Structure 1
């Protein structure tokens, strides 16, 4: 019978540190006068039948080595030990590590199924604001979830420069400053930096021209730790904005022309807040129903001149074409169409057509009549 016993079922270590995992294994010295030979490996990937040897795993290249050797044989049993060393620990190294050993005896393959659960953690900084009258003055506390042997001293850095020593540090939290702690003598064992949001960026999807009725999403992102929360605003005047909603995205399921305008987001965490630059949404749309006027209005005297005018709300601005009822030919291709020396032959219903790259819309008829 083969056995594997791990020295610990749970191990906690800091990111960047070196950790040692160990076990003992036991197997028969020989079977029917056949001396037993053993090959061992550590693995996290694969299974008991096809384990991936850590020393051949690309994720651990240059960072692992194992040492497995025979301790002694007593009677018919042999006892060995295996130690795995992992250097420069990463968060991705958090896993269950198992030993698989293979002997030259029939059925002589065995895996220690329980394994060792390794948890890789960062140093952490707890933050409190105990001074109500000074909102930016904070108490920072450095600690490790893992617990470190010998209670080693901690050191503090602001913007990468050493500023003090101790478990606690008092700091004025201002935008632009970042803080972290480390284990003295092992400065590579550091917490993540804590800092206020950096200038947020705003993107629009889909990019390019925006047509009315389309689905449009604005996204806001900012580098911050802890992660920022986001609030969206629309600029109303040079001095005022309207709060819209909270969240990293502002979504328009079917955008309207009235949604055109300037938008920005505010990124915020407990260390500060910062606004993005404004993004202008230019919603394009086909011409609305054109309005048309006639000058002079009313009945027109024969031989005089009359000017027809057309206007339509559109983005981009509309171009205009004039037509006479029941005629296909274009009468005019400007916003204003003037008829000089009018006669009864030129009277009747006229209409304009407003068009741009998005679409077109025709006006109702405009009747030219006179006393002729």
Structure 2
């Protein structure tokens, strides 16, 4: 039993500890804190409240995200009233949240803004909302003038100010050259006020130094009134001697209303009345409008006009949309009649549809749920004041887009698109450029979309949208088609490496609107005039090579492409061989063989002898020095490039006699001289023999043939005949003229061309 009791106690302690830990974790995971728990601000200035907060990253496996943040002063921590919905703060709040940090700025502080402000955030988690409970206490105070020491006045604030700069007024006139001093030395029988520089409208109450003194004190520094209501602007004043002249005036436009000397009457200036008693003065404005919004000041003969007076703000009612649901042909909206001013009391509200249909007038309901069709509108007013009706709130109709240019749009033109809304409304306008996704980004705001110099890239579909608090409506899209003259983008030869015999396409690309037609040129000569942007060779040949370009044109202009050289590659043509010397080659001489062939790319040359596998030379020109018997034979020239090869053959033979040389010239000369003498002697002997024979047989010449004469002639021809040289080849041509051996050494430009047996 004892063990059981002990065990139960241990379990209880563990559970209690675990509960406390979980509580501390919960408190740690959800929370927040304020930078300052108390803040002080001067009337008319701006204060900023700051709060940081934290929460768990996940809950039940889901990521937690903040969905809403708000500041409040009224209501409890669970059901707060959002400050942004309070008309007392209209147009005076700025809420800014970045990450886990939120600030609230309150402008133009009023005494009524004093209180405790709290921050609350709401997440997507179930029950995931938290109020930072401690709050920030705001105190609003005015400047006052104190007398800290003898014959001194000091501008005092209960708030701590950072480097304040002061402005002083004496009898309603600004005191110059005080260098922003906090303390001044006063003069008897005069009044003084002070203000912070930049907040001159919110100055301290005036203080007299000695009695009596001149002084003006306005009952209200700011007045907010509904359009159509009557407003009284009042002040109290004192003076140390008789006042000759008094008036109210507006410093912004110089309007002045004199105050009558008789205190029991009202002086009328159209809608403006003035009234004066011994120490008070009134300015009454009947049926105020927005144009009456201004600052009003009171002055008299001994009083300056620099002291800030009372600022009047006139506003009309506004139809505020709480919630709107757009259907296909109508809109259901929950509306509220909103005012930025807070009049003392409202008798009732008045709701009117399309200017004549009373939805609720009079009614005690500030809020209404109303159905509106496109083009219908709703207005509201406060109380029984007809001038306080709000501007109309329209259920929008789809707008239209109007173009400034009715005809064709050329590149560089000025083009204006206007979004036309058939409903008279001050709705917001947005412009879109049609995109493929459903979410198109706004390209511009405003009623007009202006292209000062429109470009081809601006060609697209455009539409506009009008929007107000009830929703938005989209226009039909309009097509902007910008026309322009051709401009080239590319010239393409396909394939890039052109080989003879293959198909080749020339393609000319241009950007134009409307599409361009094309004309083709080769070496400045027009090839073809057609609508096609390509030119085709079914089987290109070497004669098709040249410089090509094309011209693109439409109704707005033309452009010529750059020139492209088409270089056609082909197999070497049948080689041509030249030999020097060309016929039978003398022993010991030098033979020069030259091989040429038309080819693209240029050919390389190889010389082979007979059936040898290794070339004798890899140059177009091949020299055989000191030609001998073993140099006889067929020589083959092979012309080769990347496209293929062709070859030709030449046959070289050695002469039967010894080759001439410069050293044997004398022996040759002697030999030819001896031979010549022998021939002469032989010729003389033959002639003598022929003469003798002729004389003896002259008698028998008629009966018998002269066979001896014929025989002699044959012998003479045999003696005088030379052995002809055998040709190298039947196609070898000899361009050599008769030269002696010296000519072969000196006339180097002499070419002997031999057409050899060639094979492809």
Kindly indicate which of the two structures has a greater share of residues assigned to helix. Answer: 2
Matched, 1:10 2:262: no
Among 352, 374, 390, the residue aligned to 1:156: 352
- Identify the residue that residue 139 of structure 1 maps to in structure 2: 336
Among 335, 350, 353, the residue aligned to 2:548: 350
Matched, 1:128 2:343: no
Among 195, 205, 210, the residue aligned to 2:394: 195
3-state SS, counterpart of residue 555 of structure 2: coil
- Identify the residue that residue 727 of structure 2 maps to in structure 1: none
Paired residues of 1:290 and 1:354 also in contact (CA < 8 A): no
Shift in Å, 1:249: 0.9
CA distance in 1, matches of 2:444, 2:435: 15
3-state SS, counterpart of residue 172 of structure 1: strand
Kindly indicate which of the two structures has a greater share of residues assigned to strand. Answer: 1
Cα separation, partners in 2 of 1:242 and 1:153, compared to 1, 3 Å:
closer
3-state SS, counterpart of residue 258 of structure 1: helix
Cα separation, partners in 2 of 1:181 and 1:241, compared to 1, 3 Å:
closer
Shift in Å, 1:348: 0.2
Q: How does 1:114-263 map to 2 (within 5 A)?
A: 126-129=318-321, 136-140=333-337, 156-157=352-353, 161-166=357-362, 170-172=367-369, 176=374, 177-180=376-379, 193-263=392-462
Paired residues of 2:336 and 2:367 also in contact (CA < 8 A): yes
CA distance in 1, matches of 2:494, 2:518: 18
Cα separation, partners in 2 of 1:307 and 1:240, compared to 1, 3 Å:
same
Among 462, 480, 496, the residue aligned to 1:281: 480
Paired residues of 1:200 and 1:265 also in contact (CA < 8 A): yes
CA distance in 1, matches of 2:356, 2:478: 33
CA distance in 1, matches of 2:474, 2:513: 29
CA distance in 1, matches of 2:534, 2:552: 12
Shift in Å, 1:332: 4.2
Which segments of 5 or more consecutive residues in structure 1 lack a partner in the other structure? 1-6, 13-123, 143-150
Shift in Å, 1:322: 0.8
Shift in Å, 1:341: 4.9
Paired residues of 2:510 and 2:516 also in contact (CA < 8 A): yes
Cα separation, partners in 2 of 1:358 and 1:204, compared to 1, 3 Å:
same
CA distance in 2, matches of 1:271, 1:165: 22
Paired residues of 1:196 and 1:270 also in contact (CA < 8 A): no
Higher RCO (CA < 8 A, seq sep 6+):
1
Shift in Å, 1:194: 3.2
The alignment's C-alpha RMSD in Å is 4.4
Shift in Å, 1:247: 0.9
Shift in Å, 1:308: 1.5
The Cα offsets for residues 71-98 of structure 1, whole Å up to 9 and x where unpaired, read as xxxxxxxxxxxxxxxxxxxxxxxxxxxx
Cα separation, partners in 2 of 1:369 and 1:9, compared to 1, 3 Å:
same
Runs of 4+ in 1 over 4 A off after TM superposition: 129-132, 151-155, 158-162, 190-193
Cα separation, partners in 2 of 1:137 and 1:228, compared to 1, 3 Å:
same
CA distance in 1, matches of 2:541, 2:351: 97
Paired residues of 1:194 and 1:224 also in contact (CA < 8 A): no
Cα separation, partners in 2 of 1:312 and 1:172, compared to 1, 3 Å:
farther
Shift in Å, 1:273: 1.9
3-state SS, counterpart of residue 559 of structure 2: strand
Range moving further from structure 2, 339-348 or 355-364: 339-348
3-state SS, counterpart of residue 241 of structure 1: coil
3-state SS, counterpart of residue 493 of structure 2: strand
Which segments of 5 or more consecutive residues in structure 2 lack a partner in the other structure? 1-266, 273-315, 325-331, 340-346, 571-598, 600-760
- Identify the residue that residue 135 of structure 2 maps to in structure 1: none
Paired residues of 2:319 and 2:393 also in contact (CA < 8 A): no
The Cα offsets for residues 200-242 of structure 1, whole Å up to 9 and x where unpaired, read as 1111222222222222111112134541121112122142312
Cα separation, partners in 2 of 1:157 and 1:369, compared to 1, 3 Å:
closer
Paired residues of 1:232 and 1:246 also in contact (CA < 8 A): yes
CA distance in 2, matches of 1:281, 1:356: 19
Paired residues of 1:262 and 1:280 also in contact (CA < 8 A): yes
Among 515, 521, 532, the residue aligned to 1:323: 521
The Cα offsets for residues 94-150 of structure 1, whole Å up to 9 and x where unpaired, read as xxxxxxxxxxxxxxxxxxxxxxxxxxxxxx763234689xx94212379xxxxxxxx
The Cα offsets for residues 282-319 of structure 1, whole Å up to 9 and x where unpaired, read as 122222214222233313315x5432122222222222
May I ask how many residue pairs the two structures share in their alignment? 250
Range moving further from structure 2, 204-213 or 337-346: 337-346
Q: How does 1:286-305 map to 2 (within 5 A)?
A: 286-301=485-500, 304-305=502-503
CA distance in 2, matches of 1:273, 1:131: 14
3-state SS, counterpart of residue 435 of structure 2: strand
Structure ID, larger Rg:
2
Cα separation, partners in 2 of 1:172 and 1:279, compared to 1, 3 Å:
farther
The Cα offsets for residues 165-195 of structure 1, whole Å up to 9 and x where unpaired, read as 216663336563422479xxxx9xx987531
CA distance in 2, matches of 1:153, 1:159: 15
TM-score scaled by structure 2? Answer: 0.29
Paired residues of 2:318 and 2:391 also in contact (CA < 8 A): no
CA distance in 1, matches of 2:541, 2:320: 88
Among 353, 361, 371, the residue aligned to 2:559: 361
TM-score scaled by structure 1? Answer: 0.54
The Cα offsets for residues 241-265 of structure 1, whole Å up to 9 and x where unpaired, read as 1211211111111112221212221
Cα separation, partners in 2 of 1:291 and 1:157, compared to 1, 3 Å:
closer
Cα separation, partners in 2 of 1:209 and 1:266, compared to 1, 3 Å:
same
- Identify the residue that residue 683 of structure 2 maps to in structure 1: none
Cα separation, partners in 2 of 1:248 and 1:153, compared to 1, 3 Å:
closer
